[in-house]
């Protein structure tokens, strides 16, 4: 069995029953089920959902993206062995923990396979909610250049790179291009303040003004839950991204839920605790891959300068990364996942064939 055969790189070509165009993102592909299939599954599987809830099959891949490009390795490694299974396992763990602790539900309804979620359709809150416990990355670069105001929060003087912040910071940004909101540029990923949200809460898709406080509560409590469990594993939860949305619950009421993924090496920075105590940074997330790329190519400005995007795309397309690098990334993802879930992740020898078989025999979702 070759390593390449264990990798699921193309995930938008499965024969899953859908009448809609398959939406394929950087990592996941989404197959929306029609109304009849959604209702059938809700009834047959006994899902605790409103009967009219639209469902989708979400299939993760092993693709690795960084700097808005997809990267591949030598020996036919079109992705990272174990990455998809690790991401799903971690997100499953945190979403389940949030629900058990009474925080909120998530969009995940069922987990047919380690690479697959059945999800309920949610109306997204148009905010990428970033929580930061340490000053590093883009925040440090801006701070070092003299910036002190971040999303309406003023940081004190004298902070050092990678230092723990005085308190957990919520630094939200826009999700997608939002139009017609006073004072907010019509561009993706624009930093916003709490006042921006309060003054325009409906434009950000909040159903109620009071849900702003609920969203902040879910952010802080979710971060604390993950941070404490990681601390018990001698890992440091540095920062992460949360996303939220609304679904109709069984009573037909709008319910705010967690969605996308949370606490994973793709959406978060995680540091090795013992190394940090000695003054060193050892990444346990995708940040280690980003740093490799910056050091690997002679002109890192191509990766950092958005005006050089055509060159960046060409760089990713025409440069296969060393097999050892791909396997180092694999180990990073699998190691942190196995620490978090407390068990070994066994990789399927042919993930696509397994997915098709399970969705056909147990869910009747294959055409």
At 1, the pLDDT band (50, 70, 90 cuts) reads low
Residue 43 has pLDDT above 80, yes or no: yes
Q: How confident is the model over 126-154, as pLDDT tens digits? A: 999 999 999 998 899 999 999 999 888 99
Residue 221 has pLDDT above 80, yes or no: yes
What is the distance between the alpha carbons of residues 79 and 195, in angstroms, rounded to a whole number? 41
Q: What is the pLDDT of residue 188?
A: 86
What is the distance between the alpha carbons of residues 215 and 126, in angstroms, rounded to a whole number? 12
Q: Which of 2-11, 96-105, 194-203, 260-269 has the lowest mean pLDDT?
A: 2-11
At 14, the pLDDT band (50, 70, 90 cuts) reads very high
> What does the pLDDT average to over 353-362?
97
Which domains does the chain possess? 4-122+340-361 (3.30.200.20), 124-277 (3.30.470.20)
Average pLDDT along the chain = 95
Which parts of the chain are beta strand (E)?
Answer: 23-24, 28-32, 55-60, 64-66, 69-71, 108-113, 116-120, 123-124, 127-134, 149-150, 153-154, 164-170, 173-174, 235-248, 254-259, 268-272
Q: What is the pLDDT of residue 3?
A: 80
At 197, the pLDDT band (50, 70, 90 cuts) reads very high
Q: How confident is the model over 307-326, as pLDDT tens digits? A: 999 999 999 999 999 999 99
What is the distance between the alpha carbons of residues 108 and 92, in angstroms, rounded to a whole number? 8
Q: What is the pLDDT of residue 314?
A: 97
> What does the pLDDT average to over 347-351?
89
What is the 8-class DSSP label of residue 55? E
Q: How many CB atoms lie within 10 A of CB 160?
A: 9
At 235, the pLDDT band (50, 70, 90 cuts) reads very high
């Amino acid at each position: 069995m070759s390593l390449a055969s264990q990798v699921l790189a193309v995930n938008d070509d499965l024969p899953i029953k859908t009448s809609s165009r398959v939406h394929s993102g950087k990592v996941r592909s989404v197959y929306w089920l029609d109304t009849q299939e959604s209702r059938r599954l809700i009834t047959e599987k006994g899902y605790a959902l409103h009967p009219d809830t639209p469902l989708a099959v979400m299939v993760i891949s092993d693709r690795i993206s960084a700097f808005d490009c997809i990267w591949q390795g030598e020996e036919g490694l079109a992705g990272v062995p174990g990455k998809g299974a690790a991401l799903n396992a971690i997100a499953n763990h945190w979403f389940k923990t949030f629900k058990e602790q009474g925080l909120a539900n998530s969009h995940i309804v069922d987990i047919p396979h380690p690479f697959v979620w059945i999800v309920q359709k949610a109306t997204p809150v148009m905010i990428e909610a970033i929580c930061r416990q340490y000053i590093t990355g883009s925040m440090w670069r801006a701070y070092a250049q003299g910036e002190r105001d971040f999303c309406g929060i003023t940081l004190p003087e004298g902070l050092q790179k990678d230092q723990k912040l005085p308190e957990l910071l919520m630094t939200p940004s826009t999700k997608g291009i939002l139009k017609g909101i006073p004072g907010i540029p019509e561009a993706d990923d624009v930093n916003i303040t709490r006042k921006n949200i309060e003054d325009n809460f409906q434009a950000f898709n909040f159903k109620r003004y009071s849900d702003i406080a609920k969203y902040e509560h879910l952010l802080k409590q979710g971060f604390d839950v993950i941070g404490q469990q990681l601390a018990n594993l001698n890992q440091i939860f540095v920062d992460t991204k949360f996303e939220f949305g609304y679904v109709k619950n069984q009573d037909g009421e709008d319910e705010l839920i967690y969605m996308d993924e949370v606490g994973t090496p793709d959406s978060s920075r995680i540091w090795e605790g013992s190394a940090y105590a000695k003054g060193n940074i050892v990444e346990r997330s995708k940040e280690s891959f980003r740093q490799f790329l910056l050091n690997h190519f002679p002109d890192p400005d191509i990766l950092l300068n958005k005006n050089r995007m055509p060159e960046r795309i060409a760089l990713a397309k025409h440069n296969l990364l060393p097999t050892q690098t791909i396997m180092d990334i694999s180990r990073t993802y699998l190691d942190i996942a196995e620490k978090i879930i407390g068990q070994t992740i066994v990789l399927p020898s042919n993930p696509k064939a397994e997915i098709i078989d399970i969705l056909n025999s147990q869910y009747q979702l294959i055409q």
